[in-house]
């Protein structure tokens, strides 16, 4: 089954051996995003700014794949402090519309570059969305 590699300059480039997202048929698997500014590759300051940036980065990748945040069917949130869960919940409520994606929140000891939050996701595209704007990788 062919894989389509999704990449956009509007989200941070990979800081390891992974793609921003990979599309197989109508499913897009989004790699974890932390609060890196895609232009400077610097981490945003504080949990609120990092959450906002993570969601912005995920939005950029979903758009590069031909969808949007509301096409996500699953989101995993990784937090270095689960006390910030309510902040994530509030921020997600501002950018997602019901019905919301399935979600898990996981407390972790640390994240890359000292990030406080990371999110990844799985997105399912309609036939129309799959046709617009993404090309198979060679």
**Which structural domains are found in the chain, ordered by start?**
3-124 (3.30.1330.40)
Question: pTM for this structure?
Answer: 0.91
Q: How much of the chain, in percent, has pLDDT values that exceed 90?
A: 90
Q: How far apart are CA 102 and CA 130, in angstroms?
A: 22
Tokens of 10: 């509007």
Cα 20 from Cα 33, distance rounded (Å): 8
61-71 pLDDT, tens digit each: 999 999 999 99
Whether 131 has a pLDDT exceeding 70, the answer reads no
Per-residue model confidence (pLDDT) at position 126: 80
């Amino acid at each position: 089954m062919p894989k389509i590699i999704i990449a956009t300059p509007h989200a941070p480039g990979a800081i390891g051996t992974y793609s921003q997202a990979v599309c197989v048929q109508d499913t897009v698997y989004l790699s974890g995003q932390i609060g890196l500014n895609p232009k400077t590759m610097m981490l945003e300051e504080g949990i609120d700014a990092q959450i906002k940036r993570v969601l912005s980065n995920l939005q950029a990748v979903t758009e590069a794949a031909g969808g949007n945040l509301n096409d996500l069917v699953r989101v995993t949130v990784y937090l270095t402090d689960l006390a910030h869960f309510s902040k994530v919940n509030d921020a997600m409520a501002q950018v997602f519309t019901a019905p919301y994606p399935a979600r898990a929140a996981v407390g972790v000891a640390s994240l890359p570059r000292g990030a406080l939050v990371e999110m990844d996701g799985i997105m399912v595209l309609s036939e129309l969305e799959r046709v617009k704007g993404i090309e198979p990788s060679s």
